Structure 1
């Protein structure tokens, strides 16, 4: 569990997802992504079952305001999804979630991290660039109605 304090946040906690968080995560998913890009309840439950240490939530003053899901495939890590409730953006929450999931994957000795992001999601692309991810290629129609940008980061 990670606690952060700043002028924006009284008490941000990054912790592992718990099944009681599901409704909040689904609400964030609905507010952050178009219908074609949203994960179902079953997908969230499956990721939690597979590797609970890589499904994290951001809790601010008792409210779930963001989440990140990671996965490990052999010696590489995948940032599956990262979302922050629109009312809580630009406060460093996405950055905290990203750093925390990266640390967990790096402790498992992954050699590279990868993610996909909608080409229209400029704030997310800028966050990933800031943290060392490099654009690799466009994935045509990755999302039903939109292309994605594949980004990689080599672990030192």
Structure 2
């Protein structure tokens, strides 16, 4: 997978998630999303559906520092999850992973990419806005703690710049 020279110099590598990665990813999931963490089996279930799913991890010195997943059932792709450990935020890893998911959606001929983001997560919202996502709906009290979810959409029908990947 293509990474920016900046990330390559920082020793970041991006690759497909494997079943061997699931325990480490699930531990990060519990750390990063304590209220809404996916159960371990859910990651195995997602990886068992390669015809409609793609999951990636980012590593630094062999340690997983980010992960993300996409479900694509034409004509819609949906970002299932995306996470970067706080110590590695702001380094372009989230942008690199999101770029890869959008490219995967294009390869799978999706017309749109959808995602949910917490209404109280402005950092993630700004990332998605930089990539051209627009808010199309609000799901009130979507998360277990009562926080709303913002539904965002990126149309893929026209060529889209990935300039957000360089931000």
Q: What is the TM-score when the length of structure 2 is the normalising length?
A: 0.86
Distance in 2 (CA, whole Å) between partners of 1:6 and 1:31 is: 27
Task: Check the 8 A contact 1:10/1:61 in 2, yes or no.
Answer: no
Distance in 2 (CA, whole Å) between partners of 1:103 and 1:84 is: 19
* Residue 128 of structure 1: aligned partner: 128
* Residue 106 of structure 2: aligned partner: 106
* Residue 144 of structure 2: aligned partner: 144
CA-atom RMSD in angstroms: 1.7
The structure with the largest strand share of the pair is 1
Residue segments in structure 1 that go unaligned for 5+ positions in a row = none
* Residue 50 of structure 2: aligned partner: 51
Q: Greater shift after overlay, 78-87 or 12-21? A: 12-21
Structure 2 SS opposite 1:27: helix
Residues 4-23 of structure 1: pairs in structure 2 closer than 5 A: 4-6=4-6, 9-23=9-23
Distance in 1 (CA, whole Å) between partners of 2:144 and 2:119 is: 13
* Residue 94 of structure 1: aligned partner: 94
* Residue 37 of structure 2: aligned partner: 38
Distance in 2 (CA, whole Å) between partners of 1:5 and 1:61 is: 17
Per-residue deviation, 1:8: 8.8
Q: Work out the number of aligned pairs and report it.
A: 155
Per-residue deviation, 1:98: 0.3
* Residue 29 of structure 1: aligned partner: 29
Distance in 1 (CA, whole Å) between partners of 2:3 and 2:12 is: 6
Q: What is the TM-score when the length of structure 1 is the normalising length?
A: 0.92
Q: Residues 11, 73 of structure 1: CA spacing in aligned structure 2 closer, same or farther, 3 A cutoff?
A: same
Distance in 2 (CA, whole Å) between partners of 1:11 and 1:27 is: 22
Residue segments in structure 2 that go unaligned for 5+ positions in a row = 159-167
* Residue 62 of structure 1: aligned partner: 62
Distance in 1 (CA, whole Å) between partners of 2:7 and 2:78 is: 32
Task: Check the 8 A contact 2:66/2:82 in 1, yes or no.
Answer: yes
